Amino acid sequence: MIKKLLIANRGEIALRIHRACKEMGIATVAVHSTADSEAMHVRLADESVCIGPPAAAKSYLNIPAIVTACEITGADAVHPGYGFLSENANFAEILAAHKITFVGPSTEHIREMGDKIAAKQAMIAAGVPVVPGSPGAVSDADAAGIAASIGYPVLCKAAAGGGGRGMKVATDPGALAEALATARGEARSAFGDDAMYLEKYLGHPRHIEIQIMADAHGNVVHLGERDCSLQRRHQKILEESPSPALDDAARREIGRIVTKAMQKIGYLGAGTIEFLYEKGAFYFIEMNTRIQVEHPVTEMVTGIDLVREQIRVACGLPLSFRQEDVVLRGHAIECRINAEHPRTFIPSPGTIRNFHVPGGLGVRIDSAAYAGYRIPPYYDSMIGKLIVHGRDRHECLMRLGRALDEFVIDGVETTLDLHRALLEEPDFINGNYDIHWLETRLANS
């Protein structure tokens, strides 16, 4: 069993992991940069270690410093959270070499799913439907012929990385060369790898993802879906579960396909399989081999602590539930509250003067912020997440509106007003939106 766990992350997810550990009787170690010395996870952890200056490359991505922190404190496990080193296979291998448990999947699956081409090929072999596209990386010389066989519009997409970088749409043959060159440049700059592949660009899809958990005893369970279609520049703004677009039959079928695929590849731990969904059909786009930012909406509708299950699985224990135990109850929505201007999305680092969070039945706040906290300019701009739950989507929306009205964050710009405005939109209220809806609305408002 894990006795002391080092949290290799910061912000709300670090605090989330700390809370799960405390409820399991596991001691925690917080690591932090000099910019995060007053962070809430540092204050609450049993021990803390400074691992470097503000720049993430010299602190939260500094593998030798994190391993040293484990050795100094006697931590026998590491939870990477999301982002930073959470999908870094080399990090997991180095921890294993030092006999430190990595709370995550095997290095083989981290590498395979981190390469979008390899992931797509693995999913095809496992019987998962995929977006029509090139079988592998494409050269500039072959791109035109492959695009013509797929049919325009096509998406030029980086084989490595994610977060919407290295992706450009070519609407016709005349636009392909420029789109490919631009996407290659972005991918090279962001990931150090300009390998590209092509896939069919879907006009009005929804972004649906399936949460799974798997243990070392052959058990694989899915926990329903999350609808993450409200996006800007491929970045998620709001997520909900269940999706307004799926019925029970579609939910059961995609769940069956995904769990069968994960059993076939021998996956271990938490994972999220992401799809585009259009006209009743699912198309695999990628798999994330970590906990997701939006995991709380799944927890709210299932009552299952996903971080606790991650830790149990890392200890070699079986899942604490079976597929028949997973019942979706009610509806949950998560709003990502960022320190950004609600229209321009320009980051707004600074000091929070007043911080008052909503409460009441069915309201959850995942945040490490507090009054007087200084949001540093070096990292992601997320202040926290507002998650609400109701007996149905209507009650959930009404509760969300009430909670947003109670939320007070002074001293920095935030996206609270954007979320309040969404609740005035008939299309959102009716669940009638796709991945392009928010950007279209912002462009026309």
**pLDDT, tens digit (0-9, with 9 covering 90-100), for 364-397:** 999 999 999 999 999 999 999 999 999 999 999 9
Which backbone phi and psi does 344 adopt, to 5 degrees?
-85, -20
Q: Does the structure show a pLDDT above 80 at 164? A: no
Q: How high is the pLDDT of residue 190?
A: 85
- End-to-end Cα, the chain, rounded Å: 54
SS3 category, 282: strand
Closest alpha carbon to 73 in 53, 92, 35, 100: 100
pLDDT in tens, 315-338: 999 999 999 999 999 999 999 999
Q: Does the structure show a pLDDT above 90 at 138? A: yes
Average pLDDT, the chain: 96
Topology classification of domain 206-444: D-amino Acid Aminotransferase; Chain A, domain 1 (3.30.470)
162: pLDDT confidence band, cut at 50, 70 and 90? low
Residue-level length of the chain: 445
Q: Does the structure show a pLDDT above 90 at 339? A: yes
pLDDT in tens, 390-443: 999 999 999 999 999 999 999 999 999 999 999 999 999 999 999 999 999 998
Which CATH architecture describes the domain 4-85?
3-Layer(aba) Sandwich (3.40)
Structure-token pair, residue 389? 């739950």
Which backbone phi and psi does 175 adopt, to 5 degrees?
-95, -5
29: pLDDT confidence band, cut at 50, 70 and 90? very high
Q: Does the structure show a pLDDT above 70 at 444? A: yes
Q: Is 188 a catalytic residue?
A: no
Query: Would you give the distance in Å from CA 99 to the centre of its chain?
Result: 28
pLDDT average, residue stretch 120-149: 93
Compute how many other C-beta atoms are within 10 angstroms of the C-beta atom of residue 55: 14
pLDDT average, residue stretch 28-32: 98
pLDDT average, residue stretch 142-170: 90
Distance CA 384, CA 370 (A): 10
**What percentage of residues in the chain have a pLDDT greater than 70?**
99
Domain segments of the chain as ranges:
4-85, 132-200, 206-444
Classify residue 280 by burial, with Cβ atoms within 10 Å: 0-12, 13-18, 19+: exposed
pLDDT in tens, 272-293: 999 999 999 999 999 999 999 9
Marked catalytic residue, from 290, 312, 336, 364: 290
Q: How high is the pLDDT of residue 69?
A: 98
163: pLDDT confidence band, cut at 50, 70 and 90? low
Closest alpha carbon to 260 in 227, 224, 218: 218
Distance CA 81, CA 311 (A): 12
Distance CA 59, CA 183 (A): 29
How many helices and strands (H and E) does the chain possess? 15, 20
CATH number listed for the domain at residues 132-200: 3.30.1490.20
Could you write out the three-class secondary structure of 334-354? EEEEECECCCCCCECCEECCE
Quickly list DSSP for 140-206: HHHHHHHHHHH-SSEEEEESS--TTTTEEEE-SHHHHHHHHHHHHHHHHHHHS---EEEEEPPSS-E
The answer to whether the beta carbons of residues 291 and 378 sit under 8 Å apart is: no
Torsion of CA 88, 81, 113, 333, to 10 degrees: -160
* Beta strand 206-214 pairing with 220-232: antiparallel
Q: Does the structure show a pLDDT above 90 at 223? A: yes
191: pLDDT confidence band, cut at 50, 70 and 90? confident
pTM over cut 0.75: yes
